[in-house]
Amino acid sequence: MNPAVAARWHELAPLLDRLLDLDTGQRDALLAEVSDGELRSLARDLLAREAAQGFLDGNSADYAETLIGDTSSGQPQQIGPYRVLDLLGEGGSGSVYRAEREVDGYVQRVALKLLRVGLRDPHEQARFRRERRILARLEHPSIARLIDGGFTPDGVPWFALEYIEGESIVRWCDTRRQRLDQRVTLFLAVCDAVEAAHHALIVHRDIKPANILVDAAGRPRLLDFGIAKLLDDSEREDDTRTGLRRLTPAYAAPEQFGGGAITTATDVYALGVLLHELLTGQRPDLRRPDTPRRLSQLIIQDHVAAARACTSRQLTLALRGDLDLIVATALAAEPARRYRSVAAFADDLRAHLQRRPIAARRASAAHRAKKFLLRHGAGVAAATLVVLTAVAGLAATWHESQRANQAATEATAQAQRAEAVKEFVLTLFAGVSPDESKGRVVSARELIARGEARLGETLAVHPELRAELATALAGAYRQLGVLDRANALANDAVAASTQGNIAAAARIERARVRLALAHLDMAKGDLDQVLADGSIAGSLQTEARRRLAEVLVAQGKPDAARQALQAALEQTRSAGGDATQLRDFAALGPVQFLAGDVAGAEHSLREALALSLTAHGKTHTETARISHDLGVVLLQRGATAEAAELLAAAEITRKQLLGENHPDYAQTLFNLAIARQRLGDAANAATLYERALTVQRVSLGPDHPDIASSLNSLAVLAWSQGDAVRATDHMNQALAVARRSQGDAHPTVATMLSSLAGLERFSGQLDAALVHSEESLAIARRALGDKHYLVGVAGVGVAATQFERGDVAAALATYRDALSVLDATLGPAHADSLQSRAAYADALLASGDAVAAGREIDTVVKNLADNPPAGHPRRARLELVQLRVRLANGNCSAARAELEAAAASLAQGGMALLPDLASAQALQAVHCAGPADAATLAHAARASAARLPYLPRRLRSELAALSR
C-alpha cells in the first residue's frame, strides 16, 4: 500500500468520483488538468485497477463455506490406484486432490474427488458403480471425462476426473475483456456440450461457473457431469426425511428446491443463470423469483461494462430486447415454460447473433421489420431507430386496418406492400454501410431526408402506403424540431390518403405539427374532422381527443381541454387494463399542468409513476419521463426537495438509456438545474444549465425552444448571482431564439419578455420595460386566456413598471387584476402570489393608503407559514414591507429589532435584494436609531444604493428622507 494514497485520500476521493463518471478519453483530459503531479499519478494508479478482478469482486458466500466448514480431516496418501499430490480445494461435499498414476508407462494426472459421506450398504455401492459406468461413457471434447471411481476402505466414494488446466468461464471472460458476442459464442459451445450429454440421457444438475473451465485453447470444459446425481443418490439414505438434495442455491432451478422432477429443463435453467452472469456480471435475484427478470433493468457497474469492452450504457442497450427475452425464457419458474431443450435455447442465441428474429418473441410484424433493417443497416447509429420504429410500426398498423378487407385481396395487397416497404427501406439505407459512409455516423435527420427524397419515386404506385410513410416521416421531423419539413410532409400525407383510418392518422399528425407551429385553429380543424367521422377506429378517436386537449390548452381553454381528455379517458376505460390506465394518467398529467391544474397533474402523474414502476421498473424511458414530468410539477408546487430527487433519478436513467446527446436528457438536466438552483446550489445549477445547453445545441440545432429555455435560466441564474448585465444579455439571446423557433405569439415569449422587462426595470430602462411587459401581458392573454397564472405574473410585471414610471393609479388597478388571477390559479400562499401582494402593498403605501397596505401585507405574512423560513432573504424582503407599513402608521419602537434582523438577512440576498437592503438601512437610520448610529446607518444605506445601476422610486424618497 502506497502511504500517499491514505494521506491524500480526501483529495483523491472527489477526483475519483468525477473520473469514474467519465469515459477513457475524458478521463485523460480531466487528469491532464490536475496540476499536482503526485495526485495525478495516484489517481491514475487507482483507476488502472478498475477492470481488475480480485478477491473483493467475488461473493463472500463463495468463501464463507470454505472458511467456516470443518477441515479437520488430514490428507490421504493414496486413494485407489492414485497417488495423491496435493489438495486442490475443499467444500461442503468433500475434498478434491490433484493425483496421478502410471498407466502403460506414462503418468496420468487426474482431479480426484473424495466425498465426505460414506456408503456402507452394498446395494447402494452397486448402484453408485452402475451410475458411474454410465457417466464414464460420456465422451465429448468439451466435457471432462470421468475416468475412474471406487470406494475407500471406509466406504467413502471417490471418482477421478480428467485433469483440466484452466480458468472458470466467468473469470476467463472478464480477464480477457470479452465482448458480449464473444461471450455468447463461448456459451454456445457450453450449450453444445450439455446438449450432447442430454442426448446420452445425462443431466448435469449442477452447472455453475466453477464447473466450467476454459482451457489454454480457449475451449470450455465442463466438469462434474452427472456427479450431482451420484451424490443425491448416495445421500438418500441419510436424508429421506427432508428430501433435500445437494445443490448450489444460486444456480438451482426452482424444482430442485421443491423436490420436483429433475430433467433437462433443470440444466436449461442453470444455463440461464450462467448466461445471466456472463452477460451482466451478476446472478439473477433469487429472492424475487416472480418478478420479470430484465437484464437491461439491472444497475450495471462501470467495471462490469469495462470487462465487456464497452460502457455501462452500451451494455444496457445491448442487453435490451432479444437477450432480455432469451434469458427470461430460460429462467422461467415453471420448467414447461422454459426452452424445450438446450438446442432450442442455443438456436435463439444464434438467431440473435445473426440478427434474425428469435423464437422466444412472438413473431410480430414490427419486430421482424426491425430485425430486417438491422441486418441491412450495419453501422447505423442507434438514433436512426426513430425512423425504423416508425416504419415498422406502420407495417403493423397497416396490417390491422387491412383486416376488414377480403382475405384473398388482402394476401396479394399485403405481399405487394411488403415488397414496397422493403424497397423503400433498402433505398433508405443504401450507402450507410461503414465502408460507403467512410465511418461517419449517419444521423436520423439524414435518414429522414433520404426517405423523404425517395418517397415519390419508390411509392408512386402505392398511394396509401405513401400516405402512411409520409405521416411517419412527418412525425420524425416534428420530434427533431424541423417543423417546416414536418408540415410539408403532413400536408402530403393528408393529400395522398383516401382510406378513412389512414387519412385520420395523417390528420392527427398534421394537427400535432400545426400545434407545434402554434397554428392552433388549423390544428383544431384537423382534429374536429377526425372526431366528426364515426367510422374512424376507436384508438384513433382517442388519440385525436388527447391531441385536441393539448390544442385547447394552448388556446387557453383548460376546461374544454379537460372535457376532451375525460372523453378520451371514458373511451379507453371500458377497454381497461393497467397499460391503458398508465398511458391515460401519463398523458393527462402534463395537460392538466399546462392547463394550470397543478394538484390534478400531481395526482395523475403519481398514479402513472406507480403504474410504470410496476410495469416497467425503474430503468425505463417511460418511468424516467413520468419522473421527469412529476418533478416539473413538484417544482411548480414548491416541493423542491422531492422534485430534485425525481429529476436526479430521471437524469441517471435517461443518460443510461438515451445517451448524453438526447434532447430529453438535456431537458432533465435543465429541470434538475432549476431544482438545484432553488435548493441554493448555484454552482451545480450553473454547470447543469451549461451542460443542458451544450447537449441541446448538438441535438436540436441553434434555434429550438429548449435552447431558449436554457438561456432564459442562465439569465435568471446570472441575475440571482448579481450579474444584471450578463443576465440581460442571456435573456435577449433567449428571447431571440424563442421568437425564431416558436413565433412571436407563444406564451414562452411572454414569460421571457416579462423577465427582460424586470431586468430593464432594475437598470432603469423604464420605457423598454413598459413596452416589453405590456407585450408580454398581451401575448399571455392571447395564448392562454385571462385565467392563467402566467397572465397574472405578466400583469404584475406591467404593474411594477407602471408604478416605477410614476403612474400609481394605473399600477394599483393592474396589481388588483393580476392578484385575482394569481389567487385563483396558484392560491394566495404561493411564492409568486406573496411577492406580488407585497409589491401591491408597497404601491398602496406609496399612494397614501397605509391602512389598505397594512391589510394586504398582513395577509401576506399570515400566509407565509414557514416557507421561506425565518432569516431567509426572500422572507426578509416581505417582512420589510410589513415594517415599512408599520413605521408609516407610527409604530416605531417595536420595529427596531426587526428592522435590524431584516437588514441582516437582506445582506445575504445579493444584488437582486440590494434595493431592499438599502431601504432597510435607510429606514433604520431615519426611524429607529440614535444620532451616532443614524449617521453610520445613513452612510451604509447610501453605500448600498451607490452599487445600484438605477435607484428605484421608493428608495429615492427613502434616501431623500435621510437628508432631512
Q: How far is the CB of 245 from other proteins (least distance, A)?
A: 9
Cβ-contact 794, 752 below 8 angstroms: no
> Is 206 annotated as catalytic?
yes
In angstroms, the CA 509 to CA 472 distance is 8
Of residues 619 through 658, those in contact with other proteins by CB under 8 A are 645, 648, 652
Nearest to other proteins of 119, 483 (CB atom): 119
78 binds other proteins (CB under 8 A): no
62 binds other proteins (CB under 8 A): yes
Stretch touching other proteins by CB under 8 A, among 248-256, 346-354, 369-377, 737-745: 248-256
Q: Which of 163, 313, 522, 613 touches other proteins (CB under 8 A)?
A: 163
What are phi and psi for residue 150, nearest 5 degrees?
175, -160
Nearest to other proteins of 283, 697 (CB atom): 283
In angstroms, the CA 316 to CA 300 distance is 7
Strand order from edge to edge, sheet including 78-79: 78-79, 82-90, 94-103, 106-115, 157-162, 146-151
46 binds other proteins (CB under 8 A): yes
Total residues found in the chain within this entry: 964
Cβ-contact 689, 673 below 8 angstroms: yes
Q: Give the DSSP H/E element, type plus range, for residue 157.
A: strand 157-162
Q: How far is the CB of 684 from other proteins (least distance, A)?
A: 14
Question: Nearest-CA neighbor of 923 among 874, 887, 952?
Answer: 887
Q: Which of 79, 99, 111, 635 touches other proteins (CB under 8 A)?
A: 111
Stretch touching other proteins by CB under 8 A, among 39-47, 373-381, 497-505, 623-631: 39-47
Nearest to other proteins of 171, 772 (CB atom): 171
State how far the alpha carbon of 527 is from the alpha carbons of 218, 531, 583, in Å.
63, 6, 20
Cβ-contact 211, 224 below 8 angstroms: yes
Q: Tell me which of 148, 206, 324, 842 is the catalytic residue.
A: 206
Of residues 6 through 25, those in contact with other proteins by CB under 8 A are 6, 9-10, 13, 16-17, 20
Q: Which of 24, 73, 75, 957 touches other proteins (CB under 8 A)?
A: 75
What cell numbers appear for 549 in the block?
A: 386537449
Q: How far is the CB of 660 from other proteins (least distance, A)?
A: 16
Q: Which of 248, 479, 491, 529 touches other proteins (CB under 8 A)?
A: 248
Cβ-contact 883, 923 below 8 angstroms: yes
Q: Which of 39, 117, 426, 951 touches other proteins (CB under 8 A)?
A: 117
In angstroms, the CA 919 to CA 903 distance is 9
917 binds other proteins (CB under 8 A): no
Q: How far is the CB of 354 from other proteins (least distance, A)?
A: 33
Nearest to other proteins of 304, 523 (CB atom): 304
Q: Which of 23, 24, 26, 92 touches other proteins (CB under 8 A)?
A: 92
In angstroms, the CA 344 to CA 341 distance is 5
What are the helix (H) ranges across 333-434? 342-353, 365-376, 385-402, 407-429
76 binds other proteins (CB under 8 A): no
Nearest to other proteins of 17, 457 (CB atom): 17
Of residues 208 through 237, those in contact with other proteins by CB under 8 A are 208, 210-211, 213, 223-224, 231, 235
Type of residue found at 76: P
61 binds other proteins (CB under 8 A): yes
Q: Which of 100, 255, 302, 690 touches other proteins (CB under 8 A)?
A: 302
Nearest to other proteins of 49, 964 (CB atom): 49
Q: How far is the CB of 294 from other proteins (least distance, A)?
A: 15
91 binds other proteins (CB under 8 A): yes
Nearest to other proteins of 174, 842 (CB atom): 174
Stretch touching other proteins by CB under 8 A, among 88-96, 361-369, 680-688, 872-880: 88-96
The number of beta carbons lying within 10 Å of the beta carbon of residue 355 is 17
Q: How far is the CB of 565 from other proteins (least distance, A)?
A: 34
Nearest to other proteins of 53, 433 (CB atom): 53
The maximal CA–CA distance of the chain, rounded, in angstroms, is: 122
Cβ-contact 507, 530 below 8 angstroms: yes
Q: Which of 132, 140, 145, 171 touches other proteins (CB under 8 A)?
A: 171
Of residues 173 through 212, those in contact with other proteins by CB under 8 A are 206, 208, 210-211
Question: Nearest-CA neighbor of 789 among 637, 639, 596?
Answer: 596
247 binds other proteins (CB under 8 A): yes
Count of chain residues binding other proteins (CB under 8 A) = 82
84 binds other proteins (CB under 8 A): no
Stretch touching other proteins by CB under 8 A, among 62-70, 130-138, 779-787, 797-805: 62-70
Q: Which of 25, 32, 37, 70 touches other proteins (CB under 8 A)?
A: 70
DSSP assignment of 720-781: HTT-HHHHHHHHHHHHHHHHHHH-TT-HHHHHHHHHHHHHHHHTT-HHHHHHHHHHHHHHHH
Q: How far is the CB of 85 from other proteins (least distance, A)?
A: 10
Of residues 350 through 389, those in contact with other proteins by CB under 8 A are none
- The interface mask with other proteins, positions 313-332, x = CB under 8 A, is --------------------
Cβ-contact 789, 836 below 8 angstroms: no
Q: Which of 119, 144, 295, 793 touches other proteins (CB under 8 A)?
A: 144
Q: What is the dihedral of CA 480, 484, 485, 487, to 10 degrees?
A: 100
Looking at residue 143, the DSSP 8-state letter turns out to be B
96 binds other proteins (CB under 8 A): yes
- What does the H/E/C string look like for 556-588? CCHHHHHHHHHHHHHHHHCCCCHHHHHHHHHHH
Type of residue found at 61: A
239 binds other proteins (CB under 8 A): yes
Nearest to other proteins of 13, 865 (CB atom): 13
Stretch touching other proteins by CB under 8 A, among 80-88, 737-745, 777-785, 795-803: 80-88
Cβ-contact 110, 100 below 8 angstroms: yes
31 binds other proteins (CB under 8 A): no
The radius of gyration of the chain's CA atoms, rounded to the nearest angstrom, is 36
Let me know the angle formed at the C-alpha of 535 by 531 and 539, rounded to the nearest 5 degrees: 65
In angstroms, the CA 127 to CA 223 distance is 21
**Burial group, residue 141, by CB count within 10 angstroms (0-12, 13-18, 19+):** exposed
In angstroms, the CA 811 to CA 800 distance is 7
Q: Which of 127, 303, 637, 953 touches other proteins (CB under 8 A)?
A: 303
Q: Which residues are catalytic?
A: 206
